[in-house]
Structure 1
Amino acid sequence: MKFSSLCTSAASRRHLLRGLALSAAGLWVPGAFAEALTLTPRATEGPFYPDKLPLDQDNDLIVIKDSTSPAVGEVTYLSGRVLDPKGNPLKNAVVEIWQCDANGVYLHSRSGGNVEKRDGNFQGFGKFETDSTGGYLFRTIKPVPYPGRTPHIHMKVKLRDKELLTTQIYVKGIAQNDRDGIWKKLPQGAVRDSVTVAFSPKAGAKAGELEAKCDIIVGLTPGE
């Protein structure tokens, strides 16, 4: 299972996760933004985008396929919307995320010197196609630090096979951010705040799950 019980089918799991994304997106009101929104800052892709994509690439990174063994880590529901600078949703955009596991190991053959410690139950990479409101949703783990970096989740947004944005999402209120070279280079204020989000207890959760919400604002070239 990947969501509510270890006996939930893959199809039911995907349906439930999709339903949660639609529910969250339902709170959004079209035309709510009269002024241009702050563009999500670009960030380096880094060296650890998977050099071999996993067979399971869905939006639930906690359990691979129908395994009964979940990944180690604090379960987190990461959601938000992909919008243009005027607040219009980007439907059918593909959002990809990738991050290290709870041991600090990426899904990459050169992920430091501790590849042998990689959590085989953590998918490490996932993707989600946005709905009519631009909504996306992932179930993953709260990011952890590894040598030289503060906790973060990498994200890439594509539309019709064109890469629109690569960025990184950070955990709000942790001391490691102030020592992270990439985070510190972000302009203070709205730009930095747009990708530094709270990982808070999820309302109604019975197993201590967290939630984090981050809207992604991408600039589009004329004609798109």
Structure 2
Amino acid sequence: MKHKLSRRAFAAGAVLTATGATRLAAQGAPEWWDKITPYQTIGPFYPANRPHEADADMTRLHGHANRAKGQVIEVFGRVLDRFGKPISNAKIELWQANMHGQYSHGNAPHKEEWHDPDFQGFAEIRTDPDGNWRVTTIKPGAYAGRTNHIHFDVVGREQRLITQMYFPDEEANNAEDGLLRRAGDGAPLLIAHKTADHAYHWDIRLADT
């Protein structure tokens, strides 16, 4: 069966249909198409109330003596256009669960003992002139039906991409995650590269020109 990509989906680099079809390569699509980071759902737990702080270190809050609980990690990469050129000043919002798999959201599964008052859980950053970005955070915990992941909302020069990043050292959890599986051939583009014991590199490629 041949599939047609809508103009909107093509422009945004979307790779999942409403029915969860896998990443598609349109007939006659340009060679850069398969390098675009796949779209993933925004999910139900985008912060209802943003924290007072949204800087690149999500493990520390001003006035708090303690650091967030869990394994501290560095996550970094670049935002690139369709041709692999860096996009400067791209806006990136990131949000994630804490080490216990709990989000800072009223509708998220909640146990009092899972709460971490020292975890920021959300960041809003900009890329530098070379398209680089970096955050310090806690490796998020998995929860029912979902592997360990971080949500991203990225706005480049022309395009906006909502997606999720996954961890290469969570193979068992990743294999059971239905959303990641539905990314099909695009799934490898959603999985970061581990560069050190607690460091992960992940480039985000938009359909920008």
- What TM-score does the superposition give when structure 1 sets the normalisation length? 0.74
Q: In 1, distance between residues paired with 2:94 and 2:199?
A: 16
Q: For each residue in 1:89-112, what CA deviation from the matched residue of structure 2 results, as whole angstroms up to 9, or x when unmatched?
A: 111111111000012111111111
Alignment match, 1:126: 123
Instruction: Confirm whether residue 193 of structure 1 aligns to residue 188 of structure 2.
Output: yes
1:106 lines up with 2:103 in the alignment? yes
| 2:160 maps to which of 164, 176, 183 | 164
Match of 1:95 in 2: 92
Amino acid at match of 1:211: A
Residue 114 of structure 1 and its aligned partner are, at CA, apart by 2.2
3-state SS, counterpart of residue 74 of structure 2: strand
The runs of 5 or more residues in structure 1 that have no matched partner are 1-34, 203-209
2:187 and 2:144 mapped to 1: Cα distance?
Answer: 22
Deviations 1:125-163 (A, max 9, x none): 012111111110000011220111111010110247x76
CA drift of 1:88 comes to: 1.6
Q: How many residues align?
A: 177
Measured on the aligned residues, the alpha-carbon RMSD in Å equals: 1.9
- Whichever residue aligns with residue 192 of structure 1, its letter is A
The question of whether the paired residues in 1 share the 8 Å contact of 2:61 and 2:118 is answered with yes
Answer whether contact 1:93 1:158 (CA < 8 A) is retained: yes
Aligned to 2:199: 211
Q: Conserved in 1, the CA contact under 8 Å of 2:159 and 2:207?
A: no
Q: Which amino acid aligns with 2:155?
A: K
Counterpart amino acid of 1:182? L
Percent identity for Structure 1 against Structure 2? 35
How far apart, in 1, do the equivalents of 2:82 and 2:174 lie?
A: 27
Runs of 5+ in structure 2 lacking a partner? 1-30
State the TM-score, normalizing by the size of structure 2.
0.79
